[in-house]
Structure 1
Amino acid sequence: MEETEMQLKVKKVTDKFTESMYILANEPSVALYRLQEHVRRSLPELAQHKADMQSWEEQSQGAIYTVEYACSAIKNMMDSSVYFESIDRLLKHAIAVKDQLNSAQGRSTAALQALNPPASS
């Protein structure tokens, strides 16, 4: 009876050992299968996200270029304020000279009329 019991225990241990070896041998395969399944499901979505991110990056680069160009234009305008002030002074001077010429012309016309009175009929 003891031998039968021993055989039963040995069979039980060998069955457990065989089951453990089977699980250990197949576990990497199951893990790789699950990994492949996950990649197959999520890869199209990841590829779409990557394409979207690249598109957003291109749009952002365009916006950054536009802002930098606008900042450069504003800086150049600020630097050219000296020229605008010079133009303003020259225009004011030109207006003053024109007024002087008009005044001088008006006086000379009045003097000529005083020298040559209009003929009466």
Structure 2
Amino acid sequence: MLLDVSFCFSFFFEHWSGILCMCLYFFDSTVTDKFTESMYVLANEPSVALYRLQEHVRRSLPELVQHKTDMQSWEEQSQGAIYSVEYACSAVKSMTNSSLYFKNIDGLLRQAISMKEQISNSQGRSLHDVTPSPSPLVSAPHAPPTSSLPLD
């Protein structure tokens, strides 16, 4: 009986070894292909994609928040600078427009000075007409204050 089993085994390996190798190759490539496909599906599964997205957000979000706060700070500073520049420009424009007012004030001051001189001159004449000579005990009237503004 031992001879029959060894004969069957040798016959099987002689004829079926090629078929068996082909079956093993086909089985191996099929398993490899299925395993590769499974890994591809697992790697690209939506939950894995969401996990990768979550990790990306977790890594990049603090930096983005810092950039946002920096930009807000720079915006506030630039808005303040813009406001200051606009205020300065409006002040300069109002100063150039005020030259007309200064000319008017200059003319009014000149008129006031001339009126004051006329009043002083008329008071001086009336004093000379009323009192012929001042008494040494009575103090003389004070001279009118002179203006530091030029008359031109």
TM-score, structure 1 as length reference: 0.72
* Matching residue of 1:12: 28
1:41 aligns with 2:75: no
Measured against aligned partners, the alpha-carbon deviations of 1:41-100 in whole angstroms (never above 9, x if no partner) come to 221332233233223323432332333233223222322221111111111221123233
For structure 1, the residue ranges without an aligned partner over 5 or more in a row are none
Q: Select the structure of larger CA radius of gyration.
A: 2
* Matching residue of 1:74: 92
What percentage of aligned pairs have identical amino acids? 54
Higher RCO, Cα 8 Å, sep 6+: 2
Measured against aligned partners, the alpha-carbon deviations of 1:6-54 in whole angstroms (never above 9, x if no partner) come to 1232123112211221222022244443331121122133223323322
* Matching residue of 1:2: 18
Letter in 2 for 1:24: Y
For structure 2, the residue ranges without an aligned partner over 5 or more in a row are 1-16, 136-152
CA RMSD between the two structures: 2.8
Aligned length: 118
What are the within-5 Å matches in structure 2 for residues 1-121 of structure 1? Answer: 1-29=17-45, 30-110=48-128, 116-117=132-133
Task: Describe the SS at the equivalent of 1:42.
Answer: helix
Q: Which 4+ runs in 1 deviate beyond 3 A? A: 29-32, 103-113
Structure with bigger helix share is 1
Instruction: For 1:62 and 1:35, locate their aligned partners in 2 and report how far apart those are by CA, in whole Å.
Output: 39
TM-score, structure 2 as length reference: 0.60
